[in-house]
Amino acid sequence: MNANDLKQTLVERKAELSERQERVARHTRHRDEPLPPDFAEQAVELENAETLVALDREMSQELRQIDHALRRIETDQYLDCEQCGKPIVEERLMALPYATRCVQCATES
């Protein structure tokens, strides 16, 4: 996976998350309106305001990780583990595009 592919994946994921976050925010403001169809499977849980807040927090966190990963691509550091400096294997980045640490460091912490 090269930097462009990875960047593309991250940018798409970011757009998707931003849109979902926007919808959650809208739903929180207008709770009497029905959920959009693609939220149907989560509808039961989403009816709970606390779950919505948790979901929103989760998405914000992932967005921050994505931004961080995008900056690492810009500075050409995206293949280096943030913790030990060893290369992050390609399979890991494909599974988790915003990974900033190698498998070993991520498992240890």
- The binding site for Zn ion (CB under 5 A) comprises 81, 83-84, 102, 105
Instruction: Please report how close the Cβ of residue 84 comes to Zn ion at its closest, in angstroms.
Output: 3
By beta-carbon proximity to Zn ion, the closer residue of 2 and 109 is 109
Structure tokens at 107: 């498992």
Output the CA–CA distances (angstroms, integers) from residue 13 to 46, 49, 66, 78, 94, in the order listed.
Answer: 21, 24, 8, 17, 13
Report the distance separating Cα 36 and Cα 30, nearest Å: 12
Instruction: Please report how close the Cβ of residue 81 comes to Zn ion at its closest, in angstroms.
Output: 3
Instruction: Please report how close the Cβ of residue 4 comes to Zn ion at its closest, in angstroms.
Output: 24
